[in-house]
Amino acid sequence: MKDFKKYYTTSASPEDVYNALTNPMVIELWSGEEAVMSETPDSEFSLWEGSITGKNLAFEKNKMMQQQWYFDDQQEPSIVTIKLHTADPGTSIELRHTNIPNEHFDNITEGWTESYFASVCEFLDDL
């Protein structure tokens, strides 16, 4: 199991970033795929036609979200924590993903940078 931590930046406000990460209609705009998402703790979520699934754990409006991501046969929970920090200008996005199975690590870390946050930041910066 491995951990991953990285920061991303966008010119968008923390409120806009939070909305882009939690509102299923906005997620569909930047991902191009149907999304199932709710800010309700213990609710299930699904992104990119089910290629990312898990459970929502906690939310702090415009500041933080925490999820458990599901991997096949995983014994320890894989936890994703995203914190939003006001930056000049815009937002610094702090990502921490723990307990990533070794066999998924390269794909997951590449996906965070090249797909997930690349799409979110491009979408928000174009607003």
pLDDT digit string, tens, across residues 9-22: 999 999 999 999 99
* CATH value at residue 116: 3.30.530.20
pLDDT of residue 71: 87
- 10-residue mean pLDDT series, the chain (127 residues): 96 97 97 96 94 96 97 86 95 97 94 95 90
pLDDT of residue 56: 98
Cα(67)–Cα(34) distance, integer angstroms: 18
Give just the sign of the alpha carbon dihedral 26, 30, 33, 37: negative
pLDDT of residue 10: 96
DSSP notation for 80-124? EEEEEEE-SSSEEEEEEEEEE-GGGHHHHHHHIIIIIHHHHHHHH
Domain housing 88: 2-125
Reduced to 3 states, what is the DSSP secondary structure of residue 10? strand
Give me the number of domains the chain comprises. 1
